[in-house]
Amino acid sequence: SRYKDDVEEKGEMELWQEEQTKKSQMGFGKKKKDEKEYDFVFDDAIDFVVTETKKGKNKKGKESDDVKPDEPEEPVAKGLTDHEKILVGRKKLPVFAYRDEFLEAVAEHQVLIMVGETGSGKTTQTPQYLHEAGYSKLGKIACTQPRRVAAMSVAARVAQEMNVKLGNEVGYSIRFEDCTSPKTIVQYMTDGMLLRSFLTEPDLKSYSCLIIDEAHERTLHTDILFGLVKDIVRFRKDLKLIISSATLDAEKFSSYLDDAPIFMIPGRMFPVDILYCKQPEADYVDAAVVTTLQIHISQDIDSGDILIFLTGQEEIEQCAETLTMRTKGLGARIPELIICPVYANLPADQQARIFMKTPPNSRKVVIATNIAETSLTIDGVCYVIDSGFAKQKSYNPKTSMESLVVTPISQAAANQRSGRAGRTAPGKCFRLFTAWSFKNELEANTIPEIQRTNMGNVVLQLKALGINDLLSFDFMDPPPAECLMRAFENLYALGALNDRGELTKLGRKMAEFPLEPMLSKSVIIAEKYGCVKEVLSMVSMLSIGASVFYRPKDKAVHADTARLNFARGGGGDQISLLRCYTEWEDSGFQTQWCFENYVQSKSMKKARDVREQIAGLCERVELEETSCGVSDFEKVLKAFTAGFFFNVSKLARSGDYTTVKARHTVYIHPSSCMAKDEIPADFLVYFELAFTTKEYMRQVAPIKGEWLTELAPHFYNEADIEEAKKKKLPKARPNK
Ligand code: CDP
Ligand code: MG
């Protein structure tokens, strides 16, 4: 089948045989049609209990025991073009019935809160309605999304609906990628991009309407936008503002925005059975695979598609791979399972697959992060499998440490996820945790990001906008004072603010870059060390957020050797990435080179795009692209450390690393090229912390302790680096 070909052939045979044996032991194939729904055929089958059925809602949005499915669709009149079919589809969305009322409300009120179930058409339709009503003649219609993938895929969809080329009348802007043109009238963008627009156009006068979409997600950028747009609508009376939310936080938004009226779009919902695991499951990825197979085999093939919620790319790929292998093992005995991963860095060409209609006699399984919770609606889903976890940023202002942590979701999020099963027909939601755990271990609501994140970047941007008194900024939910203070301190230590809290020259330059302050500082300071070219390449490679190195299981040894080649000569992961980029550049950016060196060519191209953009900004702040060559990498690491001096750890007597200031034990991530070094470095600078089983440093490089007092005299003193000098016993480190 067409989706199974990507998987490496070798090793498959054994797995297949294993499956065959298992299958015969399990008596697969003997199952009778009238058997109980969850009488499964896997020896690792999971027991679920149905506890409750979430009631459906009728067309008026009222809870109801009896929500009738649609009459079978009339065959669409023959001879309709694809585009005409799309137009027929547009009219079926719940929001369509309220089109005129919506436009009347917008005409009457400057600010409107819009609430409607996910999938009702808020994101794709309302910008078009505003355009059709003539607002686009007055200025662009912007619609913000918390997620890049959502901005891209929704823009693509709307371009299709409007029958225009993406990037012309309908476009999107996300960080490092601007797909708009002077023709653009409907612009989807990440909330972070609209925030940046304030820097270049403080009154946003090129826009006639702003839709702050997915407001319930309460991302940091959306929360800051609330404060800014609240201010702007006071002096731009011609600007229309719509805050759109999928949940009932509406009252809160309304009272924050001077009691703006709430526009409800009633959405229909079918009842959803909620099933919990009887026993806690230790490995939710594995449990998700088994549950998928259980559903796929026991449930009528036409009953609907499956949506799995996991936490990130790695898990999603692992889940997809296992599913591919296991279904392959079952061969032609089961109907085809079309496996579609969705996560933030998914290449655009693969995004389209998610929305493709499932062919008859097959089933689609979409494996997603919480992007599919509300941002993306995939039609035809009737089964949801919920791991109960999501990756969340967490920030400890005491230690200044920010890390991505896999965290249990809130009850509200779990309910939102289960709702995804009941859009087009009655559905089922399989929660891979127990009912007890739902009741007792999950928080009622997700804490807004602003209360658990590093505010550095946002504070810098607000300062650049001339908003000086942040303590009295009109936040909907203010960040903890400690987080704000810590952001000030850090920006001061970086040299972006002076001791009166004002933006310095350096800080002003830093604000020009769409990068974390630590990264932009590294770029700017590189001029001093004559290595701007190298730092740009390194920073771009670090910024793409995807793994560059490719490691197919059957060629792991070759791949590891290729990777070690970049590490040879020292300098840790940062310099490996720099060598990798430079060699690729020297090859003339060849795809063949990537192939030979086990490097993902897509990631490299992305890095090159990012690099071009940052280099463009360097020109704007008149930073000369000096170069020192890769061999002189100490300069490059010095520039890096000038930005990342907060992220330095030193070797302790125990043989572990502890962060220099907070004395927190941290470990080198096993994927680092330094993970197996015989002689550990005294000091390491790291790019980020990731908490999985332990607190891991990702992307590490060796540095000299003396640099710290030289590069960050406001932050470090001699005593901080002394101790490490005294002891000098290289020890084997337990690092697994
Ligand atoms: O924003 P809201 O959740 O209210 O709905 P929407 O995102 O505007 O989705 C409306 C419809 O468009 C749904 O039926 C989606 O499945 C469909 N859609 C699509 O087919 N392709 C996309 N890229 C986005 C939405
Ligand atoms: Mg939406």
CB neighbour burial string for 139-178, b if at least 16 within 10 angstroms, e if fewer: bbbbbbbbbbbbbbbbbbbbbbbbebebbbbbbbbbbbbb
In this predicted structure, what is the pLDDT of residue 244? 95
In sequence order, what E strands does 207-332 have?
207-212, 240-245, 262-265, 272-277, 305-309
Residues 6+ apart with CB under 8 A from 13: none
**Mean pLDDT of the region 491-513:** 93
**Span 162-188, mean pLDDT?**
96
Please, which residues bridge with residue 366 across strands?
307, 340
In the predicted structure, residue 692 carries a pLDDT above the cut 50:
yes
pLDDT at 51: 76
Least confident of 51-65, 346-360, 451-465, 554-568: 51-65
Asked if the model's pLDDT at residue 3 lies above 80, the reply is: no
Please tell me the chain's helix, strand, coil percentages from 3-state DSSP, rounded to the nearest 5: 45, 20, 35
Q: What is the mean pLDDT of residues 26-43?
A: 39
Q: In the predicted model, what is the mean pLDDT of residues 576-600?
A: 96
Selected residue with higher pLDDT from 34 and 569? 569
| 38 C-beta closer than 6 A to ligand 1 | no
Residue to substitute in 90, 95, 128, 157 for testing ligand 1 pocket (most ligand atoms within 8 angstroms of CB): 157
- CB of 116 within 6 A of ligand 1: the answer is yes
What pLDDT band is residue 723 in, cutting at 50, 70 and 90?
low
Phi, psi (degrees; rounded to nearest 5) at 731: -130, 150
Whether 722 has a pLDDT exceeding 90, the answer reads no
- Residue, of 91 and 731, whose pLDDT is higher: 91
Say if residue 43's pLDDT is above 80: no
**Given a cut of 70, is residue 554 above it in pLDDT?**
yes
The reply to whether ligand 1 has any atom less than 6 angstroms from the CB of 119 is yes
Q: Judge whether residue 389 has pLDDT over 60.
A: yes
Query: Residue 39 — pLDDT band, cuts 50, 70, 90?
Result: very low
pLDDT score at 173: 96
Taking only the tens place, the pLDDT of each residue in 409-439 is: 999 999 999 999 998 889 999 999 999 999 9
Q: What is the pLDDT of residue 36?
A: 37
Mean pLDDT over 159-188 rounds to: 96
Q: Give, rounded to a whole angstrom, the gap between the first and last alpha carbons of the chain.
A: 39
pTM of the model: 0.82
Q: Which residue has the higher pLDDT, 556 or 33?
A: 556
Q: How remote is the CA of residue 123 from the centroid of ligand 2, in Å?
A: 4
pLDDT at 736: 38
Q: Is the distance from the beta carbon of residue 122 to the nearest atom of ligand 1 less than 6 Å?
A: yes
DSSP string, 681-719: -SEEEEEEEEESSSEEEEEEEEE-THHHHHH-TTT--HH
The CA-based angle 62-66-69, given to 5 degrees, is 100
Residue 735 pLDDT > 70: no
- Specify the residue with its C-alpha closest to ligand 1, atom 13: 119
pLDDT tens profile 645-689: 999 999 998 889 999 988 889 999 988 999 988 889 999 999 988
Ligand with the closest atom to the CA of 145: 2
Q: Rounded to an integer, what distance in angstroms lies between the CA atom of residue 81 and that of residue 87? A: 10
672 lines ligand 1 (CB under 6 A): no
**pLDDT value for 76:** 57
**Confidence grade of residue 35 (pLDDT, cut at 50, 70, 90):** very low
pLDDT at 84: 87
Where would I find the beta strands (DSSP E) of 370-465?
381-386, 389-396, 401-408, 427-431
State the burial class of residue 546 (Cβ atoms within 10 Å of its Cβ: 0-12, 13-18, 19+).
Answer: middle
Can you tell me the mean pLDDT for 96-119? 95
Neighbour count for residue 287 (Cβ, 10 Å): 20
Residue tagged 């960080």 (tokens): 175
- What are 184-202's pLDDT values in tens digits? 999 999 999 999 999 999 9
Model confidence pLDDT, tens digit, residues 604-648: 998 999 999 899 999 988 999 999 999 999 999 999 999 999 999
pLDDT, averaged across the chain: 87
Distance in Å, CA 374 to ligand 2 centroid: 6
DSSP 488-553: HHHHHHHTSB-TTS-B-HHHHHHHTSSS-HHHHHHHHHHHHHT-HHHHHHHHHHHHT-S--B---G
Q: Tell me the pLDDT band of 355, cut-offs 50, 70 and 90.
A: confident
Among the bound ligands, name the one nearest to the CA of residue 355: 1
pLDDT at 70: 65
Q: Is the CB of 121 under 6 A from ligand 1?
A: yes
Please compute the mean of the pLDDT values over residues 30-56 and round it to a whole number.
Answer: 59
Place of tokens 């060796």: 702
| Per-residue pLDDT tens digits for 234-283 | 999 999 999 999 876 788 999 999 999 999 998 778 999 999 998 888 89
Is 85 a residue whose pLDDT tops 80?
Answer: yes
Does the Cβ of 454 fall within 6 Å of ligand 1?
Answer: no
In this predicted model, which residue has the larger pLDDT, 690 or 65?
A: 690
Predicted confidence band of residue 347 (pLDDT cuts 50, 70, 90): confident
Residues 387-408 have a mean pLDDT of: 81
Q: In this prediction, what percent of the chain has a pLDDT beyond 70?
A: 90
| pLDDT > 80? residue 399 | no
If pLDDT is split at 50, 70 and 90, which confidence band does 50 have? confident
Which residues hold their Cβ within 5 A of ligand 2, which is an ion? 122-123
Is 60 exceeded by the pLDDT of residue 133? yes
Helix (H, G, I), strand (E, B) or coil at 426: coil
Q: Residue 561 is inside which H or E element, if any?
A: helix 556-567
The per-residue pLDDT for 77 is 60
Q: What is the pLDDT of residues 199-229, one digit of tens each?
A: 999 999 999 999 999 999 999 999 999 999 9
Ligand 2 geometric centre to CA of 350 (Å): 20
